[in-house]
Structure 1
Amino acid sequence: MLRLFLWELDKLFHLRSVRLGLLVAFLLPFLWALAPGLKEVYGLVLVSGWQVVALGLLAGMEFLFPFLVVMAASEALGAEVSQGTLKTLLLRPFPRYSLLFAKLLAAFLYPFLLLLASFLGGVLAGLPHGLEGFFGGTGVGPGGFAGVGYLSPSGAFLELFRAHLLAGVVLLPMAALALLYATVFLSTTASALAAVATLLLMRLLVAFPALTPFLLTTYLDLHLRPQAAGVGLPLLLLYALGFGGLALLIFERKDL
């Protein structure tokens, strides 16, 4: 199984969308570090390089990172179908479900690699602003960018590390949902559009207050609300496992 996972991970990194996504995630913080209008538009004056790391995360999680994860997970199976290699793979001497399970594991790893690229890019982009302790906030901790007083380098690192981990968990259900739709439609474009449409529909369901605590979209900003992790983390993982398990079930029974 490990060999199959590494094989699928290698194929994932050969996808153009994945390599482009990692590059964009790495370069995004540099855009904010060099932006001349931060004060005029956002009322923010950078006082620490740690804030650059946070800006990359906050900007990416608005739309870019979820979109990149959905596209990668959709293409992981959709590319096999479009290239005609899926049926050949299914002739190999391993259970059918193991192929999709390996793709699911690779898709689950990709969000964390994407966020790691963003974190490293943010640290490099923030070097000119310094990575020492400062008076203010990282943007993902108490007080936002204003902070609540002096913040040490280790404190800033821990806040950002926690926020990136939580953001990775937020992206897991999206990867599983996109792969689920890929098993249904066997198309990269259709599965990506269906996943995005499902998330948009869930956002509309906030009009039903009784459903709000159980919606995936309620916790898309969990990286900014770590206090909600007690409820949000189990629910997000349940969504990821549920979507992934359903994808495995459909793939096992689907006539290809």
Structure 2
Amino acid sequence: MPTAAAVPTPAPPRVLTVAGSDSGGGAGVQADLKTMLALGAHGMSVLTAVTAQNSLGVQGAWPLPAEAVRAQFRSVVDDIGVQAVKTGMLASAELVATVAELLAGVDAPVVCDPVGISKHGDPLLAASARDAVRLKLLPLATVATPNLDEVAWLTGVRVRGESGLRRAAGAVLELGPRWVLVKGGHLAGDAVDLLTDGTTERWLRAERHDNRHTHGTGCTLASAIACGLARGASVPDAVASAKEYVTGAIAAGFALGAGIGPVDHGWRWRG
């Protein structure tokens, strides 16, 4: 007797990360893909730079040629398609401009993590790229997710306490993203972030965990937001879910090497 045809398994949400590689596996493309797997998405990648990196810092960084970035992007988007894109380390003004040009032709939400400095204080974006980020990349973002150092680098606004988050968010919104999530993790007290589109505000608070092993936090949060948007969640709902996920990952962060270890992307599996 003929057998029934197998029913194809539906593909999970497709999320693309455009970012640099972290050879230590805690941040960058590696963290993005782990987050996407943990949250049930199919992760894809466009590599922008290779870093020699471990728990102690970044020992070297080598941007890829713009044509290599463009070819990776077209290969994925033209065949597989994407339902959300996350950008991270873009390394140079040329790569920022290249990625912005590519994103302008994609009908999918974009989460922009304007990575400038690593957890260890190492520069990951050329100073000459600031205008390209401000003028070309951020206007394409559905959500921008700067930390306080990145807010200062992009806008000149320096935040000393929670009361300054609203002013920081307004300064970033003037650069063109639809929503901005200002991350207040560098402030004392609870881990508080502000999400706003200039009209609606949502304050997100979480207990601060006494754990120094937080490498990859920003990459993980932005990727988790992209996963929520790829499923069709609203920006506030995607951000709230991502905040809950990354808070658990920080709490479960573990020692690795002699320096700052990574957050645990698989904490829900081990819980």
TM-score range normalised by the length of the shorter chain: under 0.3
State the TM-score, normalizing by the size of structure 2: 0.26
| Structure whose CA Rg is larger | 1
State the TM-score, normalizing by the size of structure 1: 0.27
Normalized per residue, which structure has more helix? 1
Higher relative contact order (CA 8 A, sep 6+): 1
